Amino acid sequence: MAQMQGTTVSDHGLPGTLSTRAAAKEAKRVVLIIPTLNEEEAIGPLLARVPSGVVDTVIVADGGSTDRTIERARQMGATAIEAGRGYGRACWQGVLAAGDDCDIVVFMDGDGADKPELISRLIDPIVTGEADFVIGSRLRGTRVKGSMSAHQIIAGLVLGYAMRLSHGVRYTDMCAFRAIRRSSLMALGMREMTYGWNIEMQMRAAAAKLRIIELPVDYGLREGGVSKVAGSLRGTLRASTRIIATFSRVWRETRNGRP
């Protein structure tokens, strides 16, 4: 494990031990939040893969699906809420729905590309007191060919380098698959309700001096539907614009070291 300018980059290998997972179940309430928008094909298979005994509650925070995403999620036993439009808004409404008795929130996308089998890998450093915020890195893990476009990889590296310059924290990705203490997240002052949510969390976590670990995670192909970001040039440009605008705003707000 190497300490790097405010963040700890760890190479934890296998998912957590049975004893650690048991501790998470007994001592920590873990809530998985999945923001969705028209993921009818993917949400059922994804929820079927969520490991029992690791997550206490699954919240599908839907951003206005016109298909049967909510119905499918409820059929699989998840709590499905209508969160309103916007990726960040769905994440935030999920956090609020998790409740004050939630200790750890885990985020992942609803397209099936993230690996819920690795949830314990992300929460273990929080459960054991090593970290407050753990983010998965697809670039450091194993990716299925075609699962990430070249511009996604380059954007993650460029923005990661920019965050290192601005906040002294090294990130290699803006992966949606992440875990954080709910109390820490509530204290960050999150404001971004669009695709800038992930980068705002990373920047504010660094400014707040949270203990941050980036871990390699495997990444696959989406299990159905069309990506709202990478699936079209318009979606990519819209998301990129919001991410850059969010970086600029949060940099101005946190440059003096305040979260």
Instruction: Tell whether 209 is covered by a domain.
Output: yes
Look at residue 43 in the predicted model and tell me its pLDDT.
97
Instruction: Tell whether 174 is covered by a domain.
Output: yes
Can you tell me which residue has the tokens 């990430």?
A: 148
Look at residue 256 in the predicted model and tell me its pLDDT.
63
Instruction: Tell whether 34 is covered by a domain.
Output: yes
pTM reported for the whole predicted model: 0.86
Enclosing domain of residue 20: 2-254
Look at residue 235 in the predicted model and tell me its pLDDT.
55
Number of domains in the chain: 1
What is the full per-residue pLDDT of the chain (259 aa) written as tens digits? Answer: 333 333 444 444 444 444 444 444 456 999 999 999 999 999 999 999 999 899 999 999 999 999 999 999 999 999 999 999 999 999 999 999 999 999 999 999 999 999 999 999 999 999 999 999 999 999 999 999 988 888 788 888 889 899 999 999 999 999 999 999 999 999 999 999 999 999 999 999 999 999 999 999 999 998 876 665 554 455 567 778 889 999 999 999 998 655 5
Q: How far apart are CA 184 and CA 132, in angstroms?
A: 7
Look at residue 69 in the predicted model and tell me its pLDDT.
97
CATH number at residue 33: 3.90.550.10
DSSP-based three-state secondary structure for 216: strand
Look at residue 4 in the predicted model and tell me its pLDDT.
35
Instruction: Tell whether 259 is covered by a domain.
Output: no
How far from 29 is each of 16, 122, 145, 149, 218, CA to CA, in Å?
16, 14, 35, 35, 25
Look at residue 153 in the predicted model and tell me its pLDDT.
86
